[in-house]
Amino acid sequence: MREIVFDTETTGLSPAAGDRIVEIGCIEMIGRVETGRSFHCYFNPGRPMPREAEAVHGLSDVFLSDKPRFADKAGELISFIGDSPLVAHNASFDFGFLNHELGQCGLPAICLSRMIDTLVLARSRHPGAKHSLDALCSRYGVDRSQRIKHGALLDAQLLAQVYIELTGGRQIGLGLVADTPAVSADVTIIRAEPRPVRPARPHQPSNEEVARHRAFVAKIANPLWDRFLDPTSERSAA
């Protein structure tokens, strides 16, 4: 199954208040394995960058001044994500901004049924623990040493690794998936010849075997099991 893990950076917290996306990073995964394909773009938001937001992601007005507008790259973005499920951390935030930007371009919104929220998954799997991306990276041993500030592509890459762990770890990829693309190869199938059905072997001892066993046991002096024999048994009476 193809999935897209993505993250956004914005000018603030509310698209309704005029905040815009300034960066988006998308990672393609098939069968919970990263394919190496990605989509990454910075956007000129057409408005000043608040100092509080710049402190989070480090994207300044000067840096973004020569970047394309979201509308200029919307077609490429939609083509990349296709109809795949979209994975994000606190996904309602990212979906809210993404659908607002698409609406501004006159494009249809992405259906929320495609949303997979790793924050919800983390809360279900680790109730009472910390669920930030940093905390989950620490929990699962994901290297985040390069994460000095928030960055959409880097955060999507980290989230992809966290998502794998949240959904069963890398061993999940060892399963036989119905929609995994077939690999073309010349294969020789060797079928084993059917084996003849043999009757069960007899396990009942013969009279001769029973007699030899009794003779052997009789030679043992003070055997331990005598302590547990029924006094009325044949050996006890002997």
Q: What is the mean pLDDT of each run of 10 residues along the chain (238 residues)?
A: 97 96 98 96 98 96 98 98 98 98 97 97 96 95 87 96 90 46 46 69 78 86 73 53
Q: Which residue has the tokens 């698209």?
A: 15
Q: Is 7 annotated as a binding residue?
A: yes
Q: Taking the domains of the chain in order of start, what are their residue ranges?
A: 2-174
Annotated binding residue 209: no
Q: Tell whether residue 52 is among the known ligand binding residues.
A: yes
Is position 89 annotated in a ligand binding site? no
Active site residues: 150
CB 8 within 8 A of CB 21: yes
Q: Report the pLDDT value the prediction gives residue 234, as an integer from 0 to 100.
A: 53
Q: Please report the pLDDT score of residue 230 as a whole number.
A: 61
What are the φ and ψ backbone dihedral angles of 96, each rounded to 5 degrees? -60, -45
208 annotated to bind ligand: no
Show Cβ contacts of residue 97 under 8 Å, excluding neighbours closer than 6 positions. 8, 10, 15, 19, 20, 21
For the question of whether the overall pTM of this predicted structure is more than 0.85, the answer is: no
Sign of CA dihedral 136, 140, 145, 150: negative
Fold of 2-174: Nucleotidyltransferase; domain 5 (3.30.420)
**So what's the pLDDT on residue 175?**
46
86-88: strand order across its sheet: 33-42, 21-30, 2-10, 86-88, 115-117
Rounded Cα–Cα distance for residues 144 and 19 (Å): 28
List the helix and strand counts (H, then E) for the chain: 9, 5
